[in-house]
């Protein structure tokens, strides 16, 4: 609503990484321009995503719905996702909006990070295994040229290479100037397939500044700490306004029930499952989400007949199934983009705090920087709050939230002054 009020008074850019929110926004305010990824628009020339290759561009694109949205965005208030907004800022003649509103701002840094990161599947790209950034940069330049030739010769390869082409250009441009702030590491994905991940340790502030060139920037989130705000704004001055959660605190209790086990990768999950069954006993027949890792979800499902889990690929179908039938869901990767109001979820459990993976090269380098430990801890608490926020979705809603990780109390105590007051009010030790 705040964004809509601003849009009536100023030329405003409204950003959110949540496509569901964009869809809801466009339905509620159909007169407002919406600009999202090119693949959401039908191309009447049959080029789909390939029109950024100059040699393929047709002479007549006057009926292109995507370009119409682009032209409107240059003069009107518009709703974007971060990627479409970034591309808009790079267009000739772009004039920054008077006001930039970033909703769901806790996802903003990761969304921007994804713009300047890339994963290269080994099955497709024969990348070099090297620690030399110049060798990697040379390979990226050659690969960009090869992709351009492939797209010109074979338009059917577009969906396979088009997005990678744009990402490699972003990575090349930043890597060329900030080689010591990038990491690249060959890693397996969830399907055990190898690929090269190229990621900056931090989003370059020059990149963020180019996105936030508006006269006024408003960022909104229920879980951001001042540390995260400074990550976005850098040294720019800002005013911090905290609005209390309108949902009564008794409708959203956070119960601290630490498990009496030393939990690690070698933990006997049968023992752990028995403890979890005792926790669930007081809440029979409640739709329950239990936040876990993908591997734990796979293993715990075997120990709880009738329960369900998910993979990265089937998360949305698992969500639909859970909304329809309820039950017990061992949910992985579900700290955002999941909406479970009312009877869709009455019990919300975090078994282990969602920490960043210490085996990841970028995470290790980020921790080694000044205030790296603070970043690591506050990221953990931010994602924990997001997990809790999947239920109790409106002022009359209610759910019980349980945190089972024994380290939760120590982290909250350490960073109490930096955490949202509405979150702290709900905790019951």
Q: What is the predicted pLDDT for the residue at 138?
A: 94
Q: Of 145-159, 193-207, 317-331, 344-358, give the lowest mean pLDDT range.
A: 145-159
Tell me whether residue 161 is exposed, middle or buried, using C-beta atoms within 10 angstroms of its C-beta: 0 to 12, 13 to 18, 19 or more: buried
Find the mean pLDDT for residues 183-193.
84
Q: What is the predicted pLDDT for the residue at 318?
A: 95
Q: What is the predicted pLDDT for the residue at 110?
A: 85
**Domain 2-113+205-233, architecture per CATH:** 3-Layer(aba) Sandwich (3.40)
Alpha helical stretches, state H, 49-188: 65-73, 82-89, 108-115, 133-153, 158-175
Q: How many residues does the chain have?
A: 429
Question: Buried b / exposed e across 62-76, counting CB within 10 Å, b at 16+?
Answer: eebebeebbeebeee
Find the mean pLDDT for residues 274-288.
92
Question: Buried b / exposed e across 217-252, counting CB within 10 Å, b at 16+?
Answer: bbbbbbbbbebbeebbbeeeeeeeeeeebebeeebb
Q: What residue spans define the domains of the chain? A: 2-113+205-233, 117-200, 249-428
The topology under which CATH files domain 249-428 is Rossmann fold (3.40.50)
Find the mean pLDDT for residues 369-373.
89
Q: What is the predicted pLDDT for the residue at 3?
A: 59
Angle between the 372-388 and 361-368 helix axes, to the nearest 10 degrees?
Answer: 120
- Tens-place pLDDT, residues 55-95: 445 555 667 788 888 888 998 889 998 888 888 888 888 89
- Tens-place pLDDT, residues 294-312: 989 999 999 999 999 999 8
Find the mean pLDDT for residues 144-166.
68
Say if 2-113+205-233 and 249-428 have the same CATH topology.
Answer: yes
Biggest alpha carbon–alpha carbon distance for the chain: 69
Q: What are the DSSP E strand ranges found in 270-417?
A: 288-291, 308-309, 328-331, 347-350, 400-403
What 8-state DSSP symbol labels residue 308?
E
């Amino acid at each position: 609503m705040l964004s809509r009020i601003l849009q009536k008074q100023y030329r405003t850019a409204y950003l959110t990484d949540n496509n569901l929110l964009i869809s809801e926004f466009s339905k509620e305010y159909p007169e407002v321009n919406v600009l999202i990824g090119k693949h959401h628009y039908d191309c009447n020339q049959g080029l789909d995503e390939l029109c950024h290759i100059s040699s393929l561009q047709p002479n007549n694109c006057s009926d292109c719905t995507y370009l119409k949205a682009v032209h409107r965005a240059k003069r009107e208030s518009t709703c974007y996702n971060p990627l479409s907004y970034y591309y808009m800022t790079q267009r000739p003649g772009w004039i920054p909006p008077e006001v930039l509103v970033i909703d769901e701002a806790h996802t903003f840094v990761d969304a921007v990070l994804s713009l300047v990161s890339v994963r290269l599947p080994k099955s497709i790209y024969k990348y070099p295994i090297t620690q030399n950034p110049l060798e990697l940069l040379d390979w990226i330049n050659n690969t960009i040229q090869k992709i351009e030739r492939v797209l010109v010769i074979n338009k059917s390869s577009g969906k396979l290479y088009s997005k990678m082409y744009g990402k490699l250009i972003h990575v090349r441009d930043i890597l060329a100037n900030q080689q010591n702030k990038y990491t690249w590491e060959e890693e397996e994905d969830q399907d055990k397939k190898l690929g090269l991940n190229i990621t900056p340790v931090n989003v370059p502030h020059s990149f963020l500044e180019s996105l936030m060139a508006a006269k006024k920037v408003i960022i909104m989130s229920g879980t951001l700490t001042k540390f995260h705000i400074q990550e976005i704004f850098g040294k720019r001055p800002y005013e911090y306004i905290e609005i209390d959660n309108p949902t009564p605190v008794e409708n959203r209790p956070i119960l601290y029930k630490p498990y009496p086990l030393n939990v690690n990768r070698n933990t006997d999950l049968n023992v752990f499952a028995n403890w979890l069954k005792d926790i669930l006993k007081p809440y029979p027949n409640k739709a329950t989400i239990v936040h876990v890792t993908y591997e734990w979800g796979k293993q715990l499902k075997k120990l709880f007949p009738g329960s369900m889990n998910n993979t990265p690929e089937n998360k949305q179908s698992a969500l639909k199934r859970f909304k329809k039938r309820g039950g017990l869901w061992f949910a992985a990767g579900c700290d955002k983009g999941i909406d479970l109001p009312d009877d869709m979820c009455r019990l919300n459990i975090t078994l282990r705090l969602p920490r960043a993976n210490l085996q990841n090269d970028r995470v290790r380098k980020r921790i080694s920087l000044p205030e790296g430990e603070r970043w690591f801890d506050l990221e953990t608490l931010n994602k924990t709050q997001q997990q809790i926020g999947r239920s109790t979705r409106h002022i009359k809603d209610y759910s019980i939230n349980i945190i089972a990780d024994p380290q939760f109390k120590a982290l909250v105590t350490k960073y109490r002054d930096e955490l949202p007051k509405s979150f702290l009010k709900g905790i019951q030790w």
